[in-house]
Chains A and B, each alone.
Chain A
Amino acid sequence: MPTKKKIEISKEDCIENLRNEIICRDSLIRQLYSLLDDEPLFSSIFIYGHISTGKSLIVDKVLNYMRYNYSIINCIEHANSRSLLEKILIDLSKVKLTADNNYKLERRCDDFTEFIYQIQEITKKDERPMIVVLEKCDKLRDMDANLLPALLKLNELTKTNICSILTSDVIWDKFKPKDGLYEPIQLHFPQYNKDEIKEILFHTTKPMDEDDTFYDGYLRTFLAVFFQFCNDLKELRYMARKNFEEYVKPVHEGKIKKTNQRALWNNIIKVFKANLEVLYLRVSTDDFEQQAKFLHEIESTTKLALSFELPYYAKYLLIAAFLASYNPAKEDRRLFLKEKVEKKKRKTTAKKKSVTLTLKEGPKIFPLCRLLAIFCAIINSKIDLNAVLLMQVQSLCQLGLITAVGDSNNIDEPKYKCCVDFDFVMVISKNVGFELKNYLCDFLDG
């Protein structure tokens, strides 16, 4: 058993060693280190924090430094417990998958009993403490019911020195089933603040041959613009790299001096603005103009709607679907019939009309025949409802403009819902010269 002082020393050693790769996380490393340095190990540790707060990186590096026998599992990847357990065994037993063993384990591991047995076998060969890291462990909730509770108490079950580390961006309270669960030790990774981000960006994105103060100045201007919109490290890192090329261009060309911050700022502000719009979109084109074009398409509904290349009747079908979704069925007669239908007058008209607009309520479900009836009504010419046309309905479904609702086996009366918004349909109907507002209840009554 190492003395307390010894532990302290090795802890600081670890931080120093990882300094190259990890900064701004000293206290967390310290905590994690002391948690993992205990003998025997804790049965489980739960780490949670938002994405890109350094969870995986720190766990990986610390474990690597401590030379434990460990396995890192990404839970999304495994659809069933078998593949998950086998992956753990492969990692821990250091089996090399090659063509000779057909890329599989010698012994199948179908259930937990087998898993425990094999873990015990491994400890006989390798006495180092074992760690199982389960990343994105929120997925475990969807797998076999016994998996999560068992993984939380691995050391108890296997009677070996093993610890499981679960990482997730979901808090622990969301994991608890009704009948309770073994409580792991919890560790929270907070988000980085602005200064930390700046420091990290400085270390990760600075080109080798760039001047320190110059780059520091760049990052300060960069963060002044970007940090209020995005505090995700990954995205900022990407953007910082992308924008720096533009920033430094006039300097390389000799137009602006490195020290002239003001001129540089004036030069870059346009690029910043444009890139701010594509934040999170990750569309990279070499051509700046093309990027602006895409951006417009994504931004404005008009452009988006026009960029949909639909056949003429498909456009009308879409309009019909929209009308069917946003008009109550009982109004159809009044809206679409050529000759005016007199409303039957009833004595009890005292009832107040509900004021809510149907447009605000979201799309309603409609059956196929209503769609076709409205389609025939709004299209002026006589139209033959042939197979080619009916296939367009399916085609619209595939494009995500309308969706089929309910059971797909219902071939007698399939039901749909319109998925596009008013502005979109407005553009489409303008495009074909259709007066949409004349056919919407909300506009006629209100």
Chain B
Amino acid sequence: MEDWSVSKGVFAYNKYKVGQKRKRNDKTDLYAYKKEPSFLAFKETWSTIENAAKNANMKAFRQILLDLKNFVNKVKNLPLLKDEIPTGILLAGVNLPDHDILIDKVVSNLQSISPYIATLWSRDCPTLKHLTEKLVYQIINGNEDEEEEEDKVVIKRNQCTFYALEAWHRDKLSPETPINIIVPDFESFIPKILHDFILILGSYAKNIKFILIFGVATTLHIVHRSLSYDATSKLKIQVFRTQSQTEYLSDILDGLICSSNIPFKVIDKAYCLLVDLFLYFDFSVNGFLQSYKICMWRHFYGRNEFKLCCRREDILKKVAELNNTDIIKLKKLPSLSVYTKKTKITKEEFKKLIVQLLEEFHDYINSFLVILKCLHIFTVDMPSRPFGKMFREIYGEAAKKTSIVESSDYKEAMKLMRMWSQGEMLEHMKKVISVLQNSEPILSDVIEKLEEYFELLKNADLKIIESQEEEKPSTPITGRQIWRDQLAKKAKQHSQSPYTKVLNEFVKYLDTEVFHVYLKSPSEVPLNEIFCYDDAKTIKDCVRGSMKGAIHTALTSPEEIHEEFPNPPDICVAYKLHLENRKMINMYDWLQAFRTIVDPKENEEDEKEDIDPVLQARFTQSVAELQFLGFIKATQRKTDHVKRLNI
């Protein structure tokens, strides 16, 4: 996926971290990095992620494309409709930066059914004349073979009129051949233009069959709000909807997280940051993927040993490729310290250990995801939804540094599970068992146990059996409190039906032997550094285009941007000095302070001497620059003072 953006796409990211040192080494090959093992590993992983995203895309669009195709097909086979234009409205969702992909898909899909398609973007059509030209040009010339020379176009741009189109249509096509007009960004059009456009189409609908497709980002409402009745009465609208953006993200994430093909995982705070960025700021799936890409890039960059982040089949090969520096680096990984500290190990032994640990990690992460899915099934229907509706939410919880089983939500969930009725419990268990059976590492002992409990729970009696024998108090009742406790305990025992007993047992089993075992936090597992990325801070700098922060760092520590400054630039000096002031800044004092820093020698000699005009000019210039950047503002309140903004 290229890093293109759409007008509606609202994501911003920097390709490099602001303030990051960029080494300029002209001698080396510019593309040398392409041969680095880390880059190769990055590329390989990214291509799998890209494929997963593409699949999710396809899944998301398939239904709507199918519907549209049917719609066009239906219209195509109808006789000429004299007084109405069939119109498809594609409700594509607010902030859909993938609008472009969708429209491209629509065009390529419809091409096979009816090849005469014109796409009209609002940016190309500021007036009706432009719109007409664009439309007619695309329809008449667009379908010519590409081999033809440009000067062989059938019709020149300035001759593109509707009557030319009509003549051409009569000349070349049968009257039933539809002409498809796609307007991808309905909202951005000037309503009047569209209104007139529809009226014109209406007047030609006697002879040409048009099909209009509007891409609407907001709601159907907008169509009726921007077009008056005389235009809409010419249309026959059919509505198509895409799924919502949050669902779409969930689909993509499910593809990314749950796929065992993708060893790379974003966890903990970095994951939360990415999801938050999506939910709070833009709703842009494409932006999310790009951020994910940056995470990966950051993860691999300069770390050749991380090529071990690969599929299970390639582990042996990759481990064999490790060189000495890689091994030294690997030994320093914090999660390996337990192994490396104890005894001295040879290179071969270490490699063996690595292979073993890598395999263990793969086992761990796969079973982790499967069991997490099970927990999700159990919790999703709970009344308070302790872990949210979507799988991505529970994943975010589980991928934190502290294990999910320690959280209060988890305890709450376990408590709620004990209250389930038989029917509910059995239904959930059925689902869980089928998930377990269908997913990759088959945890046979868990399945067995679950099936056992399933039978037990199914057959368990719901009635409370009164225990006959009278229990004698083992200890003499010494206090009121103890007596009360004992009574409560007894009441509990008495009121428990066999079903409740089995249920309690089952929940306890799940809790201690399943969830506690499998749902360890990824960051507790050895070698997690290779697979998991959690550096939220770096990502924050990269992904969130924080302009103020960037300007501040640039002005306070210029050496981070450019190391070759002998002295800090004047503006940095002026900026730092201005930070020391409060609301008002005295220009003279500021100048004096500036002078002391920039030219300390002169200062020592004679304080009251006139200021060097060059110095003053430099000062004035930097003040002007600060004003331009919006840090200060001239004020009438006080003479010789400027006002400081954004304190």
Contact = CB atoms under 8 A, between A and B. Distances in A.
Interface of A: 51, 74, 76-80, 83, 87, 90, 96-99, 102-104, 135-136, 232, 234-235, 238, 280-285, 290, 294, 297-298, 304, 307-314, 384-389, 391-392, 394-395, 398-400
B573 to A, nearest CB: 26
A388 B549 contact: no
Contacts of B544: 384, 386-388
Contacts of A79: 127-129, 132
Given A388-B545, A391-B12, A394-B10, A102 B154 contact: yes
B203 interface: yes
Given A51-B230, A398-B8, A309 B220 contact: no
Contacts, number: 172
B155 A395 contact: no
B196 A313 contact: no
14 contacts: A74-B203, A77-B200, A97-B167, A103-B164, A103-B168, A282-B237, A284-B238, A285-B239, A297-B220, A298-B220, A298-B221, A304-B221, A395-B282, A399-B217
**Most chain B beta carbons < 10 A, residue from A90, A238, A400:** A400
A280 B233 contact: yes
Nearest to B155: A103
Given A79-B132, A103-B159, A387-B547, 10 more contacts: A74-B200, A80-B129, A102-B155, A280-B232, A281-B237, A284-B237, A285-B239, A309-B95, A386-B544, A399-B218
B235 A282 contact: yes
B233 A282 contact: yes
A294 B167 CA distance: 39
B562 interface: no
A284 B235 CA distance: 10
B238 A76 contact: no
Nearest to A72: B203
A282 B232 contact: yes
Nearest to A315: B280
Nearest to A97: B167
A311 B11 contact: no
Given A387-B547, A392-B282, A283 B154 contact: no
Given A388-B12, A399-B187, A400-B187, A77 B162 contact: yes
**Chain B: number of interface residues, binned into ranges:** 35 or more
Contact of B8 (A232, A313, A395): A395
Contacts of B420: none
Contact of A398 (B161, B187, B232, B283): B187
Contact of B279 (A51, A97, A285, A312): A312
A274 B244 CA distance: 27
A332 B203 CA distance: 53
**Interface residues of chain B: helix, strand, loop or mixed (majority):** helix
A313 B278 CA distance: 10
A87 B203 CA distance: 15
A314 B218 CA distance: 14
Contacts of A96: 167
B15 interface: no
Nearest to A104: B159
Interface string B83-126: 11000000001110000000000000000000000000000000
Contacts of B278: 311
Contacts of B168: 97, 99, 103
Nearest to A301: B221
Contacts of B277: 388
B129 A391 contact: no
A102 B156 contact: yes
Given A103-B159, A384-B546, A311 B279 contact: yes
Contacts of A104: 155, 159, 164
A384 B549 contact: yes
A235 B282 contact: no
Interface string B215-252: 00111111010000110110111110000111000000
Nearest to A387: B545
B26 interface: no
